[in-house]
Amino acid sequence: MTETERMKQGYIWEDDDENMALQAKCKTLVRQFNNLPPEAMEEREALLHDIFGEVGENVWFNAPLTATVGKYVSIGSGTYANMNLTLIDDWKITIGKNVLIGPNVTLCTTGHAIHPAHRMDGMYSFPITIGDNVWIGGNVTVLPGVTIGENSVIGAGSVVTKDIPANVIAFGAPCKVYREINEHDAEYYFGDHRFDEQPARD
């Protein structure tokens, strides 16, 4: 069994020549992406397709970006990521459609054993799944094996250690559900500011 096969089956694994080559290729492409000027939109889009396994339409990632392997990442159409997104993507990261990702977010599929006697034995990796229409606030960390359900909001500064259901607001370290998204949220966009009281656009 190769190290990649061990990783995909949820066993402890170590970097080998195959994985190191994938990482080197990804780092080269990410460096090219980060060095492009903002106005080079076609080149940026093309590089996202080169870096990641699947990329939908109208996806925008701000530089700088960090990714480990790239090919295991799937990004749905309409997704936006702000600056300093870090993807520890040794295994699958699935990001749905119309996802908003704030600045300084980390999606980490990989960890190490807690007990010091085994911590240097290698790594484990489990997939992360982000549902459609999720909003992840700034400075959030999502840990291995987590699924965030569609439409949910993860508050800034959260550490997401366990699955979050759909249609909720959750925050904290560790991240916990605060409440469901409701009809009040359909009328108010911030505090006492109503959608129907905004001036019409020209």
112, 118, 184, 193: the catalytic one is 112
Domains of the chain, residue spans: 3-197
DSSP 24-61: HHHHHHHHHHHHS-TT-HHHHHHHHHHHSSEE-SS-EE
pLDDT in tens, 123-145: 999 999 999 999 999 999 999 99
pLDDT, mean over the chain = 97
Q: Locate 18 and state its tokens.
A: 């195959």
Q: Which residues pair with 26 in a beta bridge?
A: none
Q: Is 115 a catalytic residue?
A: no
- Tell me if 12 sits within 8 A of 124, measured CB to CB: yes
Q: Report the DSSP beta bridge partners of residue 107.
A: 87, 142
| pLDDT for the residue 137 | 98
Closest Cα to residue 69, out of 43, 51, 96, 86? 51
pLDDT of 202 > 90? The answer is: no
- Tell me: the pLDDT tens digits for 37-83? 989 999 999 999 999 999 999 999 999 999 999 999 999 999 999 99
- Please state the pTM of the whole predicted model: 0.96
- 64 within 8 A of 83, measured Cβ to Cβ: yes
Task: Tell me which residue of 108, 166, 158 sits closest to 136, measured CA to CA.
Answer: 158
- DSSP H helical segments within 70-163, as ranges? none
6's enclosing H/E stretch is helix 3-8
CATH superfamily, domain 3-197, is Hexapeptide repeat proteins (2.160.10.10)
